């Protein structure tokens, strides 16, 4: 089956630094990838839709200058949290649309902790 990986799985950083999270589709090409965020005991919330070769589409309330998304190839999308603050601490999950279907394949997630 289709596999999506994320790196790193866990990151701890100091307030004010930037953190990059990678999302890769390992055995298929994904023209569209999604980034979600999940706070403790809350549902997953879509942050942005990333299309290969074009600018990401952000959901209302998500700061595009703070959460930089780059989808430079058909197998890689990156999310950079710039000038991270403790309130950005969360679980970030990506998913990818693959194989010409509507099925989304999810990555294992990245736990970000900002001190």
Partner 1 sequence: KQEVTQIPAALSVPEGENLVLNCSFTDSAIYNLQWFRQDPGKGLTSLLLIQSSQREQTSGRLNASLDKSSGRSTLYIAASQPGDSATYLCAVIMNTPLVFGKGTRLSVIA
Residues that bind partner 1 (CB under 8 A): 6, 32, 34, 41-46, 49, 91, 93, 97, 102-109, 111
Name which of 19 and 109 has its Cβ closer to partner 1. Answer: 109
Least CB distance from residue 102 to partner 1, whole Å?
A: 6
CA distance 35 to 110: 11
Name which of 83 and 113 has its Cβ closer to partner 1. Answer: 113
Name which of 49 and 70 has its Cβ closer to partner 1. Answer: 49
DSSP secondary structure string, the chain?
---EEEE-SEEEE-TT--EEEEEEESSS--SEEEEEEE-TTS--EEEEEEETTS--EEPTT--TTTEEEEEEETTEEEEEE-S--GGG-EEEEEEEE-TTSS-EEE---EEEEE-
Name which of 57 and 80 has its Cβ closer to partner 1. Answer: 57
Least CB distance from residue 16 to partner 1, whole Å?
A: 25
């Amino acid at each position: 089956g289709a596999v999506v990986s994320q790196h790193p799985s866990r990151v701890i950083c100091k307030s004010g630094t930037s953190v990059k999270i990678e999302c890769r589709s390992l055995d298929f090409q994904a023209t569209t990838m999604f980034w979600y965020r999940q706070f403790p005991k809350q549902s997953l919330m879509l942050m942005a839709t990333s299309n290969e070769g074009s600018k990401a589409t952000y959901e209302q309330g998500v700061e595009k200058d703070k959460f930089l998304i780059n989808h430079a190839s058909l197998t890689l999308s990156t999310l950079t949290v710039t000038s991270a603050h403790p309130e950005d601490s969360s679980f970030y999950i990506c998913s990818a649309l693959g194989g010409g279907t509507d099925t989304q394949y999810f990555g294992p997630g990245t736990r970000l902790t900002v001190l």
